[in-house]
Amino acid sequence: MNRTLRAAVCSVAVGGLALGLSSCSEAVDQVDKAVNETYEVTYEVTGKNVDSIDFHGGGGGGKAMEPKIESVSKPELPWKKTVTLRGIMPAAVMPVATDPEGAEVTCKIIHRGKVLEEQSAEGLVTAGGCTAESPITE
């Protein structure tokens, strides 16, 4: 973290509370960790007649507020993908199905064996998306 940003974080952390330099340094270290730490999630999509799946890929670009979105067209179901995300970037998977006969979609986001988010939908036009907060922010 550059010196100017570090000083700004220190000012905010101390902000009227005479906490001292060591407390400020701890707050800055926590911010650095939250921004730079990585975590893995596994996306799972099941159902029928899914046309595409968009997901936050994490690898090779994107920012926390503008993640890199990857796509898979006509995926074979069940579909599963493990990705590494960084910092406060949310995990997200968005399957889309447009089938006049109806479609069924279920998506899951799994982190360390725990389901962070699960959604199901069916119907003519289905966008059963899942979005989960970064486990680093917990």
**pLDDT tens for residues 92-123?**
999 988 776 778 889 999 999 999 999 988 76
Token pair of 92 as six digits = 């997200």
- Tens of pLDDT, residues 27-49: 655 665 666 788 999 999 999 88
Q: How far apart (Å, rounded) are the C-alpha atoms in residues 61 and 86?
A: 10
- Residue 124 — very low, low, confident or very high, per pLDDT cuts 50/70/90? low
Count CA within 13 A, CB hemisphere, residue 114. 6
